[in-house]
Structure 1
């Protein structure tokens, strides 16, 4: 790995996701349909359901970006229009989180499901790189609501690939302390499975090559990573990627 142009990277600013303690995945109790004949290579980007990579700038709101981006894709795959929804709405209004100072993706999903709040279009409630006062919209206003979600610890289990294919992209929390130096290739070292600090989105997986990997969408702008994405080795819970896995239902 080589240094990138993220000279202003600050772990205190970027790595602010809180990891909730997730229950171990039990297919007999989860209500999630698991199929073991999933394709060896799959990516939701190939279906046109994944929007452009965003930039959280100096806001520690990765928890909100990952959740909103997941909702966008799941809504599109379920027959809706792919649109950019408002991250700022979640940052401002998810009262149990701390805006640009950090938050829990699962907490945000629980809040969205409980309140049935509709996420409005990004253009109606644009990102401003800081937390602000929550703007309310009437329930009749157009938007996308979260019907339900699931959150499990998949450590030591393979079913997570099936959930990715069946349910849509997955919100996960990883140890990304070394990621400011990432330029490409498959991440196989230099991250822990016990230091979750950054929320990202798994959009795909590939098990056809010598080193199987997850495809990961980040929120650090278009100049970061391998063409804006990262690739993490599948197996051994690399970077803690399967410890906190959330799927969204809209």
Structure 2
């Protein structure tokens, strides 16, 4: 078992034995751009560098924080701030630190408490669970205005529509991801949710439409920290739990 996995405590049961398949032609006929990549959207990078969670089961905090970073950049038109994953790991009480959590519950905690999410510089990443620290003079913190959870199995066109607005956080089954060496995942990926990542875009221009997925296993993984997953079959459970966020 991958050391990173079994760390996601999903907000509700997501496993579904039914097969869901949407033909690739369906996505190519949609009236949306054929490719969206928030790493280079209108010549602006709205995505921070890939991080590494190491042995901490905090993928949920990485996924949520990454999407908040992107949303702040989209709101301001400025480069994305590097926000503190560690603050979410230590302080988001709806979750269990490096023992597991859920990206939607992380967003919900930030919204409910109206706690400004501080910068990584002020609250550096240690990849361990620790006591929550209070940050003073946190005027550059980002406040979450709202968060939304959707299960979009069989409606992955809606994920593509969301991705035209912003990156999203998703829960996935990453059991086989240790074996990923590149290319587009098209087979052998189930829906036993145990990991969380960020989708930063998609490409529906070719024969195999795919999501552009940011992982939190460092830049040595996959395509410099990213991987590609076929759209339309709920591969790796990617449509089971989709979280979006807005910021103030």
Category of TM-score, reference length = shorter chain: 0.7 to 0.9
Aligned residues: 227
**Aligned-pair distance for 1:122?**
0.3
Question: Normalising to structure 1: TM-score of the pair?
Answer: 0.86
Distance in 2 (CA, whole Å) between partners of 1:171 and 1:17 is: 13
Distance in 1 (CA, whole Å) between partners of 2:13 and 2:4 is: 25
Q: How does 1:127-146 map to 2 (within 5 A)?
A: 127-138=125-136, 141-146=139-144
Task: Give 2:87's aligned residue.
Answer: 89
From 97, 100, 104, the counterpart of 1:99: 97
Is it true that 1:200 corresponds to 2:182 in the alignment? no
Consecutive unaligned residues in structure 2, runs of 5 or more: 15-29
Task: Give 1:39's aligned residue.
Answer: 33
Let me know the Cα RMSD of the aligned residues: 1.7
Task: Give 1:18's aligned residue.
Answer: 9
**Aligned-pair distance for 1:50?**
0.6
From 51, 54, 58, the counterpart of 1:57: 54
Residues 208, 113 of structure 1: alpha-carbon distance in 2 compared, 3 angstrom cutoff: same
Consecutive unaligned residues in structure 1, runs of 5 or more: 1-9, 24-35
Q: Which contiguous aligned blocks of 4+ residues in structure 1 show a shift greater than 6 angstroms?
A: none
Task: Give 2:19's aligned residue.
Answer: none
Task: Give 1:113's aligned residue.
Answer: 111
Distance in 1 (CA, whole Å) between partners of 2:51 and 2:138 is: 28
**Aligned-pair distance for 1:227?**
2.3
**Aligned-pair distance for 1:164?**
1.2
1:89 alignment partner, SS class: helix
Contact 2:118–2:138 (CA under 8 A) maintained in structure 1 = no
**Aligned-pair distance for 1:183?**
1.2
Task: Give 2:244's aligned residue.
Answer: 247
Task: Give 1:6's aligned residue.
Answer: none
Distance in 1 (CA, whole Å) between partners of 2:89 and 2:138 is: 22
Is it true that 1:229 corresponds to 2:226 in the alignment? yes
From 73, 78, 85, the counterpart of 2:75: 78
**Aligned-pair distance for 1:154?**
0.7
Which moves more between the two structures, 135-144 or 197-206? 135-144
Distance in 2 (CA, whole Å) between partners of 1:147 and 1:190 is: 38
